[in-house]
Amino acid sequence: MNLALFDFDGTITFGDTWTPFMRMAVRPSRRLAARVLLAPPYIAYRLGVVDVGRVREMAARIGFSGAAASGIRDVGRRYASETLPRLIRPEAAERLEWHRARGDEIVVVSASLDVYLGPWCTERGLSYICTTLEERDGRLTGRCLGGDCSAKEKVHRIRARYRLTDYDSIYAYGDTADDQPMLSIADKKYYRWWEIAGRN
C-alpha cells in the first residue's frame, strides 16, 4: 500500500480557504479589531521576519477566543458543504480518485482549520491532519492545539501518526514553500501538479 499526502489550500483547491472562512465565521467587531492588531505582524510576515503560521494563530486568538464552539462548527459544516465543493480543482479530484482506486492511504495535511476541513474530509472518507481549534466547556479558547499545522509541523504530525516504512511508496502534493518539508519525505512528489525529483 502507498501513502498519499495532499496539501489542501492551493493544491486540492484553487486557492486560499482559510481567509474566506474567517470572514464568514468571525463577528464583524472582531474582524475590525483584527485589522488593527494584526497589521504589525502581517507587515513582519511580508518582510520575512514572522512566518505566516504565527499570524494565523494570532488571528484565531482574536477571532475565536470565547466563541461558542457549536456555532463555529455549524459555520464550518456549512462552509464545507456549500462553499468548498466549488473550489476543488478537477485534477485534484481525479488524483484523489486515482489513489482511492489503487487502495492507497490518503491523508489531507493542511493548516486549514478542523471545523471545516474535518467535515469535508469525513464526507469523502479521507483522513486528515490539520490545525485544530482548542475547545473547553463548549467555548473556543482561541488557541490551536499544537500550533499551526504548516511547514515542518506537517512532517512532525505525519510521523507521529504513520510509520512511513510501512508503505511501499509515499506520494506528496503541495504548492508552496511551506509544503517543501512534506514533499521532502516523499518518493514521488508533485509541486503545483508537476512531478519533481524524488526523495531528498
Q: pLDDT tens across 45-86, in order?
A: 676 777 888 889 999 999 999 999 999 999 999 999 999 999
Q: How far apart are CA 176 and CA 171, in angstroms?
A: 16
**Per-residue pLDDT, 101:** 98
The residue count of the chain comes to 200
* 174 or 39, higher pLDDT: 174
Q: Is 105 left (phi over 0), alpha (psi -120 to 50) or beta?
A: beta
CATH architecture of 3-196: 3-Layer(aba) Sandwich (3.40)
Q: How far apart are CA 114 and CA 176, in angstroms?
A: 20
In which residue are the cell numbers 490539520 written? 130
Helix (H) or strand (E) holding 74: helix 69-78
> Structural domain boundaries of the chain?
3-196
Q: What is the pTM of this model?
A: 0.92
**Per-residue pLDDT, 184:** 97
Q: How far apart are CA 82 and CA 166, in angstroms?
A: 37
